Structure 1
Amino acid sequence: MKSAYFLVAFALLAFASSFVSAYDPSPLQDFCVAINDTKNGVFVNGKFCKDPKHVVAQDFFFSGFDKPGNTSNALGSAVTPASVEQLLGLNTLGVSLARVDYAPKGGLNPPHTHPRGTEILLVQEGTLYVGFVSSDSDGNRFFTKVLNKGDIFVFPIGMIHFQLNIGETPAVAIAAFSSQNPGTIVIANAVFGSNPRINPDVLTKAFMLDKNVIKYLQSHF
């Protein structure tokens, strides 16, 4: 009986550990400004930390959200990130931002996921049609809303979501994340543009499409 209790306790501990490790760790110091110098730093959470004595205000500063992104592309959208890669002072702090610009009448931030962070989106200008799909275990339910200036919508961590500009003017939104580096997986790019390519037989069966259609889609990514 004792061995059974031990196995249950061990399984619960393993589950809890895996759940916690899916999120950014709590910092054990005031700050840990990232540095790419492997000789003079301590490796913490994927980055080396700058010597605190050498940290300056510039390490916590980022400029660029005042400038519109270039939406002259096939999707009609542009993302300007302010994650730990652009703002080194974010290292270990568990937050980041991004500015998203959308071209008028159809600018799309395509279906994608953030594997390491929940997103909260604030519309600054324009009108967006947004939504996310829950997991298989929740029945793949689709949650959608039309957002106007000043509105906020939350996309839970890992859920596939999108934003589409349905207005006649450019739209702008600010996205905040519960991770210093939430990551982005664009579904179409990952499925049809992987390197090397996924075997078309796999995608043909998964999407229940003709193989020629799959090959056509792969050729466009």
Structure 2
Amino acid sequence: MTSSSEWLRPTSAGKLRCWWPGDDVPYQEYHDTEWGRAVVDDERLFEKVCLEGFQSGLSWLTILRKRENFRQAFAGFDIDVVARFTEMDITRLMNDVGIVRHRGKIEATINNAARALELVEQTGSLAQHFWSFAPTAPFGRDGEGQHPSGLSTTSPSAIALSKDLKKRGWKFVGPTTMYSFMQSMGMMNDHLQECFVHEACEKARVEALKKQKS
């Protein structure tokens, strides 16, 4: 994977960071400590799928700033609890100014919780199933010219995961949404090679692949 200095920015410690967090400190922290770090916990994976769905048509920074509100509103994204949400919960959520009040996305989250329970029963865990779609090539490259700055919008593996989940009845899981999900959960390493967290993220990705595919 190649890169260019135009896609890197110096940190306050003199290290190099991917360009996209800009000068926003919480966004920089998200980049440094979360984005691209391998996640194999089912509730965190479910939370991220849901939040990526809410992001549709918006920026991730908008969702990130509301993330704690989302967690409170959706019972910490406890899959069992969310799957049992009722019309009363939908009304409550539609009146919650701390989240994105989009009825279709709220209903999709509840639907996806039910589908997640089915998937766990069928495959053992969300992590095992989601990671089965992760590319095994270095950095999780799919070999189709993904932009070195992380500006690509989808990939063959993301398209495959999207198709699989749609067949299972999941909603708001299009190819672009699944690509963002796979990037952020460390299934592919789209940090620039010169980025100071790239190496650690790659090691974690490889270890997660070994664990989930063993």
Q: TM-score, with normalisation over the residues of structure 1?
A: 0.23
Higher CA-based Rg: 1
Q: Quick one: higher RCO (CA 8 Å, sep 6+), 1 or 2?
A: 2
Higher strand share: 1
Normalized per residue, the structure richer in helix is 2
Taking structure 2 as the reference length, the TM-score comes to 0.24
